[in-house]
């Protein structure tokens, strides 16, 4: 549930509401918006719900108390109807612009990364990607250059001005990765690594949370909730394909997840057709598809010589293919932006009460 404060509420009244929530052993999360201040109540409320709802509604300065129907609270549209916009250096994610994260699967050398960075920037990428710590299925496969790669990423940012995103695999890597990178990526294999989610929730860097390849949308949003409830509101969701019975593609890209997420959550959503398909020729069509169904952006793997890549050789685009993709992506985004975004309407179809349902003092 969340408490909506009256626009005339004083600081003392807000404090009174938070103290009451804390006294129940629950946690208050304040969110300021155009229509005033709201305080979400999170924790194990259980059977106390009706009594607590009534008690909070009676407190001075309270306009009304509204239940949140979903298990994810802070990430829900119900609590936070406006889109979250994440700003990092000159890039913005979720503001209606097209976010394009591009770069190699793995940072393999200084030259490979800088060449790619310059070319993707000139083609219109807004964020540079590159794996430093690689989660590989085989322990014998290339594991990434680690901190050396982080230094190359920082150098590429200095030169191009592009913010950089790279994966962090363990809680004890969070500080070093956050020192070099602008956005921290949580990979599919770590989507339910709760101590890692809490660790990235405590740093002042946006996080891109990839969908676990076996995760439902609700499990994914609950994972995002771990990050936000740990103190970091800047989370981007990335649909990167889920495992199904199909074997012609590496994974199955769940396009329906994009508009569904926009109705369920205020967090920005990007798609990663590289890992979703695993095949170079499928990357462009699925990138276009993702943007056409309303994704805020794409993440695409690009390599100067994909066939010689040390990881994911089959799915990385060449520099020229990436440039071509950009010429197709921009008009599709121009044409479709805003078309699918009516979260209130979608929410009513999903059974979300959006009309101030709940207990009011009036």
| Contact set with Mn ion (CB under 5 A) | 105, 312
268 binds, among ligand PEP, Mn ion, none (CB under 5 to 8 A by kind): none
- Rounded to the nearest whole angstrom, what is the least distance from the CB of residue 43 to ligand PEP in the complex? 31
Name residues contacting ligand PEP, limited to 248-287 (CB under 6 A).
275
70 binds, among Mn ion, ligand PEP, none (CB under 5 to 8 A by kind): none
- Rounded to the nearest whole angstrom, what is the least distance from the CB of residue 131 to ligand PEP in the complex? 5
Residue 157 vs 210, nearer CB to ligand PEP: 210
- Rounded to the nearest whole angstrom, what is the least distance from the CB of residue 209 to ligand PEP in the complex? 10
Chain position carrying tokens 């509101």: 233
- Rounded to the nearest whole angstrom, what is the least distance from the CB of residue 153 to Mn ion in the complex? 15
Candidate list 38, 77, 240, 266; residue touching ligand PEP; CB under 6 A: 240
Residue 63 vs 312, nearer CB to Mn ion: 312
Residue 105 vs 257, nearer CB to Mn ion: 105
Candidate list 60, 135, 214, 331; residue touching ligand PEP; CB under 6 A: 135
Residue nearest to ligand PEP (CB): 187
Residue nearest to Mn ion (CB): 105
Of 79, 118, 133, 86, the closest CA to residue 297 belongs to: 86
98 binds, among ligand PEP, Mn ion, none (CB under 5 to 8 A by kind): none
210 binds, among Mn ion, ligand PEP, none (CB under 5 to 8 A by kind): ligand PEP
Name residues contacting ligand PEP, limited to 298-357 (CB under 6 A).
none
Contact 27, 18 (CB under 8 A): no
Enumerate residues 6+ apart whose C-beta is below 8 A from 245: none
Under the binding rule (CB under 6 A), the answer on residue 239 touching ligand PEP is no
Name residues contacting ligand PEP, limited to 138-167 (CB under 6 A).
167
- Rounded to the nearest whole angstrom, what is the least distance from the CB of residue 213 to ligand PEP in the complex? 7
- SS3 sequence of the chain: CEEEECCCCCHHHHHHHHHHHHHCCCEEEEEEECCEEEEEEECCCHHHHHHHHHHHHCCCCEEEEECCCCCCCCCECCCCCCCCCEEECCEEECCCCCEEEEECCECCCHHHHHHHHHHHHHHCCCEEECECCCCCCCCCCCCCCCHHHHHHHHHHHHHHCCCEEEECCCHHHHHHHHHHCCEEEECHHHCCCHHHHHHHHCCCCCEEEECCCCCCHHHHHHHHHHHHHCCCCCEEEEECCECCCCCCCCCECCCCHHHHHHHHECCCEEECHHHHHCCHHHHHHHHHHHHHCCCCEEEEEECCCHHHCCCCHHHCECHHHHHHHHHHHHHHHHHHCCCCCCHHHHHHHCCCCCCCCCEECC
Under the binding rule (CB under 6 A), the answer on residue 187 touching ligand PEP is yes
How far from the centroid of its chain's Cα atoms is residue 171's Cα? 18
Residue 39 vs 107, nearer CB to ligand PEP: 107
- Rounded to the nearest whole angstrom, what is the least distance from the CB of residue 125 to ligand PEP in the complex? 15
Candidate list 160, 188, 229, 277; residue touching ligand PEP; CB under 6 A: 188
61 binds, among ligand PEP, Mn ion, none (CB under 5 to 8 A by kind): none
Site residues, ligand PEP (CB under 6 A): 105, 131, 135, 167, 187-188, 210, 240, 275
């Amino acid at each position: 549930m969340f408490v909506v404060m009256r626009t005339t509420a004083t600081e003392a009244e807000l404090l009174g509401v938070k103290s009451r929530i804390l006294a129940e052993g629950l946690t208050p999360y304040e969110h300021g918006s155009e229509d005033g201040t709201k305080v979400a109540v999170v924790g194990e409320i259980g059977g106390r719900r009706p009594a607590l709802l009534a008690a909070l509604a009676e407190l001075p300065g309270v306009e009304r108390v509204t239940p949140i129907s979903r298990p994810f609270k802070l990430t829900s549209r119900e609590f936070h109807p406006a889109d979250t916009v994440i700003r990092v250096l000159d890039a913005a994610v979720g503001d209606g612009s097209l976010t394009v994260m591009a770069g190699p699967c793995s940072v393999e050398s200084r030259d490979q990364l800088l060449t790619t960075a310059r070319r993707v920037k000139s083609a219109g990428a807004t964020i540079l990607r590159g794996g430093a710590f690689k989660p590989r299925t085989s322990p014998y496969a290339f594991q990434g250059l680690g901190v050396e790669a982080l230094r190359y990423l920082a150098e590429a940012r200095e030169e191009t001005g592009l913010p950089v995103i790279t994966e962090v695999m363990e809680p004890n890597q969070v500080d070093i990765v956050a020192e070099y990178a602008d956005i921290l990526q949580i990979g599919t294999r770590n989507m339910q690594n709760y101590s890692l989610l809490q660790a990235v929730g405590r740093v002042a860097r946006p996080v891109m949370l990839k969908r676990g390849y076996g995760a439902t949308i609700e499990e994914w949003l609950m994972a995002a909730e771990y990050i936000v409830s740990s103190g970091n509101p800047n989370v981007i969701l990335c649909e990167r394909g889920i495992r199904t019975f199909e074997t012609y593609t590496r994974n199955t890209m769940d396009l329906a997840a994009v508009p569904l997420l926009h109705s369920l959550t205020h967090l920005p959503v990007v798609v990663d057709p590289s890992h979703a398909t695993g095949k170079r020729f499928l990357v462009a069509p699925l990138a276009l598809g993702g943007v056409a169904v309303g994704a805020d952006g794409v993440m695409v793997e690009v390599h100067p010589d994909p066939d010689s890549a040390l990881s994911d050789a089959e799915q990385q685009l060449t520099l020229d293919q990436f440039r071509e993709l950009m010429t197709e992506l921009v008009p599709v985004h121009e044409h479709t932006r805003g078309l699918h975004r009516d979260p209130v309407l979608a929410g009513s179809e999903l059974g979300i009460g959006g009309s101030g349902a709940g207990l009011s003092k009036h």
